[in-house]
Amino acid sequence: MRIGIDLGGTKIEGIAIDGDGRERLRRRIAAPRGDYRRTLDAIAGLVRDIERAIGVRATVGVGIPGTISPSTGLVRNANSTWLIGEPLADDLPRLLERPVRFANDANCFALSEASDGAAAGAHVVFGVIVGTGCGGGVVVRGEVVAGANGVAGEWGHNPMPAPRDDERPGPSCYCGRRGCIEQFLSGPALARDYRSAGGAAATAAEIAERAAGGEALAAGALSRYEERMARALGSVINLLDPDVIVLGGGLSNIERLYDRVPQLWAPYVFSDRIDTRLVRALHGDSSGVRGAAWLWDAQ
Ligand SMILES: [Zn+2]
């Protein structure tokens, strides 16, 4: 049995998956925001609670918002800021008296979809979460590629490729740079683009709805969004040449992306033929917690 834990900013979710990939149990608790010690205890309590219910000791994988630094072993880049600089990768294995595997939540997403989701069976998978931010993860032959610096797949903070004049230098990003892909492809970025073209305040989902209803401003914003996604993913195809690119997060629900973006990415790809498929995540919001469980494979 494998236990996956998804450590979120507001909730901590746990799941037990058996050897056949079937979900046996799922529990969700509120995250002790702002308190690292209580977060540790909450995770350990959740694991023990699940093990009592399933009756066996299991492997434990944890998806975190951020990464464990390969050089210091400490949490970094986490938007749950109370985790930053903490030795989670030492403390949790000690508390649980077993090795624990950790991965970034976007990597867990990619692993879940590559294991038994929309990209099952594909050799090279690029998983993208487009929501409040824009994260990415790489899975090759069923294994997460973490990378020498622990940032493989962190494509959202690359500059937007082939920027147009009106995209330079681009919006400021919290990472300290300007014109990051995230500043064009996240939900807030789409909403900002729509507003700056004269649209009213609206969420990404509302903009997609208005575009479907024939509103010209919304259709324009969505067309610009698709063209930008095509450029951004075209550079991913050149570098990684994935069999499948899986989209998750709130914006992955915009159905027309799956037709339009692949029609637009050819000019940015150095190949006369593109077989990469762009697909929507199968497991939706569950991909993070499922991928954490998959950090320990079936053997
Ligand atoms: Zn950035």
pLDDT digits (tens, 9 = 90+) for 165-200: 999 999 999 889 999 999 999 999 999 999 999 999
Ligand 1: distance of its center to the CA of 44 in Å?
Answer: 33
Rounded to whole angstroms, what are the CA distances from 120 to 3, 97, 169? 20, 32, 39
Taking a C-beta distance cutoff of 8 angstroms, is the pair 83, 110 a contact? Answer: no
**Predicted pLDDT at 19:** 85
Taking a C-beta distance cutoff of 8 angstroms, is the pair 205, 250 a contact? Answer: yes
Ligand 1: distance of its center to the CA of 155 in Å?
Answer: 9
Ligand 1: distance of its center to the CA of 182 in Å?
Answer: 6
**Could you check whether the bond before residue 65 is cis, i.e. omega within 30 degrees of 0?**
no
Ligand 1: distance of its center to the CA of 133 in Å?
Answer: 10
**Predicted pLDDT at 52:** 97
Ligand 1: distance of its center to the CA of 17 in Å?
Answer: 35
Strands (E), 212-252: 244-248
Model pTM above 0.75: yes
**Predicted pLDDT at 81:** 86
Ligand 1: distance of its center to the CA of 134 in Å?
Answer: 9
Ligand 1: distance of its center to the CA of 52 in Å?
Answer: 43
Ligand 1: distance of its center to the CA of 137 in Å?
Answer: 16
Taking a C-beta distance cutoff of 8 angstroms, is the pair 162, 269 a contact? Answer: no
**Predicted pLDDT at 153:** 94
**Predicted pLDDT at 115:** 93
Residues of the chain with pLDDT under 50: 298-299
